[in-house]
Amino acid sequence: MLRVYASHTSCGGLSHIRRKAPVPRLRRWMSVRPEQQHKTPDARKKVTIAELQKMRDAGTPISMLTTYDYPSARALSANPQIDIAFVGDSLAQVCLGHTSTTELTLDEMIHHTRAVRRGTKHPLLLADMPFGSYNVSAEDTLRNAVRLVQQGGAEAVKMEGGVELAGVVRRLGTIGIPVMAHIGLMPQRCNASGFRVQGRDAESARGVLADALALEDAGAFAVVLEAIPHKLGEYITNRLRIPTIGIGAGNMTSGQVLVWDDMMGTWAGHKAKFVRRFADVKTERDAGVQRYAAAVRDRSFPSATESYAMDDAEWNKFLRHEEK
Residue 257 CB, nearest approach to ligand KIV (Å): 5
Are 254 and 61 in contact by the 8 Å Cβ rule? The answer is: yes
Are 18 and 7 in contact by the 8 Å Cβ rule? The answer is: yes
Hey, which residues does 63 pair with through a beta bridge?
A: 256
Nearer residue to ligand KIV within complex by CB, 91 or 172: 91
Nearer residue to ligand KIV within complex by CB, 23 or 127: 127
**Does residue 124 bind ligand KIV (CB under 6 A)?**
no
Q: Closest residue (Cβ) to ligand KIV? A: 88
Phi, psi of 232 (to 5 degrees): -70, -40
| Active site annotation includes 226 | yes
Hey, which residues does 66 pair with through a beta bridge?
A: 86
Residue 262 CB, nearest approach to ligand KIV (Å): 9
Amino acid at 324: K
Q: Distances in Å between the alpha carbon of 40 and those of 79, 83, 91, 183, 209?
A: 9, 16, 28, 36, 41
Helix (H) or strand (E) segment spanning residue 144: helix 138-150
Residue 1 CB, nearest approach to ligand KIV (Å): 48
Residue 186 CB, nearest approach to ligand KIV (Å): 9
Q: Is the dihedral of CA 128, 132, 134, 140 positive or negative?
A: negative
Q: Please identify which of the residues 226, 234, 284, 323 carries the catalytic annotation.
A: 226
Residues that bind ligand KIV (rule: CB under 6 A) add up to a total of 10
Convert residues 69-98 into a mask of x (bound to ligand KIV by CB under 6 A) and - (unbound).
-------------------xxx--------
Residues designated catalytic? 226
Per CB under 6 A, residues contacting ligand KIV are 66, 88-90, 128, 224, 226, 247, 257, 259
